[in-house]
């Protein structure tokens, strides 16, 4: 592993997604300094994407008027199943990756130590350390975006289990005969409450003649539909959109109750782009439904909170990972 310079006082967190790469520079005390963003271009293959990640890290460092020599290490959250020890992305569907030596290749390009984790575990780590100041011993983080993922902090540490896949909460079945999921099953939480699930419901209904202000806003094909548009539609009194968002929030509440029953966490943090855009519309329903469905006594004193880190959870967690590993 490359050795960082003794003068290095910064860490970089990277959030590698299917559509974009985010890099953030943080001081060693985890104060945010600056960032950079780039599209992933996954279709160009792993080698090109890793070059883009290196580029994005360099841009972020340059943006902060710093030099790579001042960086101690880089922590990166990648989607899919990830082996932190070997530094490999075993499988990532939305990148089309299989057995990619991300750590090794990125270290070669940056000449810096790189540490790898699953994206949702890294986000959970970021929220735990920075937003909650490391206090809860047992915590669950769930992130609602294009898909739904999660991470577990148990006994103060990220818990990944036997196959390193613990926290794969999006494919928890909540409705055995529910809608089809991309994983092949039916009624997974992701098929009921993710952004993709909401958009699918909107598009299907519109195709079947449903009236909504969304088509006034975006045209009939709804090609540029975003989470924020759902919020705007609800604000304009669109009952159809409101109902769809409410149902997704209810299912999320049931999923949170299931997680409380199984794991008895002290805190459940709900993050991700969808909740970021629709916090006011979703959170109270999520909390109420979760409390209704948690087994009596199991949710006593348990906090169910929206993350304030939003899109920055990933880069923050990456920075936490890099700091912890280079201490």
Which spans of this chain sit near its own copies (rule: CB under 8 A)? Answer: 81, 90-91, 136-138, 150, 152, 154-155, 159-169, 171-177, 183, 185, 250-251, 254, 257-259, 261-266, 292-293, 295-302
Cα separation values, 33 from 11, 37, 62, 63, 135, Å: 10, 14, 11, 9, 24
Nearest-angstrom CA–CA distance, 74 and 160? 21
Nearest-angstrom CA–CA distance, 98 and 102? 11
Q: How far is the CB of 299 from its own copies (least distance, A)?
A: 8
Nearest-angstrom CA–CA distance, 294 and 254? 8
Which of 146-155 are b and which e, b meaning 16 or more Cβ less than 10 Å from the residue's Cβ? bbbbbbbbbe
Query: How far does the chain reach from its first CA to its final CA, in angstroms?
Result: 15
Strand 303-306 and strand 97-100: pairing?
unpaired
Positive or negative, the CA dihedral 198, 204, 205, 209 is positive
Minimum CB distance to its own copies smaller for 113 or for 136: 136
Q: How far is the CB of 249 from its own copies (least distance, A)?
A: 13
Q: How far is the CB of 254 from its own copies (least distance, A)?
A: 5
Q: Which uninterrupted H or E stretch holds 280?
A: helix 279-293
Minimum CB distance to its own copies smaller for 173 or for 305: 173
Nearest-angstrom CA–CA distance, 199 and 155? 37
Q: How far is the CB of 124 from its own copies (least distance, A)?
A: 13
Minimum CB distance to its own copies smaller for 20 or for 164: 164
Q: How far is the CB of 189 from its own copies (least distance, A)?
A: 10
Strand order in the sheet with 303-306: 157-158, 148-154, 139-144, 267-271, 303-306
Q: Are 178 and 186 within 8 A, CB to CB?
A: yes
Q: How far is the CB of 58 from its own copies (least distance, A)?
A: 33
Q: How far is the CB of 146 from its own copies (least distance, A)?
A: 16
Minimum CB distance to its own copies smaller for 71 or for 254: 254
Q: Which two tokens stand for residue 67?
A: 């030099």
Minimum CB distance to its own copies smaller for 109 or for 185: 185
Minimum CB distance to its own copies smaller for 25 or for 269: 269
Minimum CB distance to its own copies smaller for 20 or for 293: 293
């Amino acid at each position: 592993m490359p050795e960082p310079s003794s003068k290095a006082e910064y860490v970089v967190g990277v959030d590698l997604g299917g559509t974009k790469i985010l890099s953030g520079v943080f001081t060693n005390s985890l104060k945010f300094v600056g960032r950079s963003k780039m599209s992933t271009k996954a279709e160009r293959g792993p080698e090109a994407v890793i070059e883009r990640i290196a580029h994005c890290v360099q841009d972020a460092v340059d943006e902060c008027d710093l030099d790579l020599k001042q960086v101690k290490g880089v922590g990166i959250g990648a989607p899919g199943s990830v082996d932190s020890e070997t530094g490999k992305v075993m499988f990532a569907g939305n990148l089309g990756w299989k057995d990619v030596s991300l750590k090794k290749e990125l270290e070669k390009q940056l000449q810096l130590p790189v540490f790898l984790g699953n994206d949702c575990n890294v986000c959970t780590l970021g929220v735990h350390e920075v937003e909650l100041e490391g206090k809860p011993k047992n915590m669950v983080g769930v992130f609602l975006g294009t898909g739904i993922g999660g991470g577990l902090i148990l006994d103060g540490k990220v818990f990944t289990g036997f196959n390193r896949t613990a926290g794969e909460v999006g494919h928890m079945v909540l409705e055995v005969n529910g809608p089809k999921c991309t994983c092949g099953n039916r009624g997974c939480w992701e098929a009921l409450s993710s952004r993709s699930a909401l958009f699918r419901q909107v598009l299907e209904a519109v195709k079947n003649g449903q009236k909504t202000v969304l088509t006034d806003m975006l045209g009939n094909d709804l090609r540029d539909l975003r989470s924020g548009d759902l919020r705007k539609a609800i604000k304009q009194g669109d009952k159809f959109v409101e109902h769809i968002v409410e149902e997704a929030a209810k299912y999320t509440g049931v999923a949170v109750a299931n997680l409380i029953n199984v794991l008895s966490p002290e805190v459940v943090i709900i993050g991700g782009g969808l909740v970021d855009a629709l916090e006011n519309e979703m959170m109270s329903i999520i909390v109420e439904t979760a409390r209704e469905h948690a087994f009596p006594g199991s949710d006593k004193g348990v906090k169910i909170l929206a993350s304030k880190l939003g899109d920055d959870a990933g880069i923050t967690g990456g920075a936490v990972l890099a700091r912890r590993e280079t201490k």
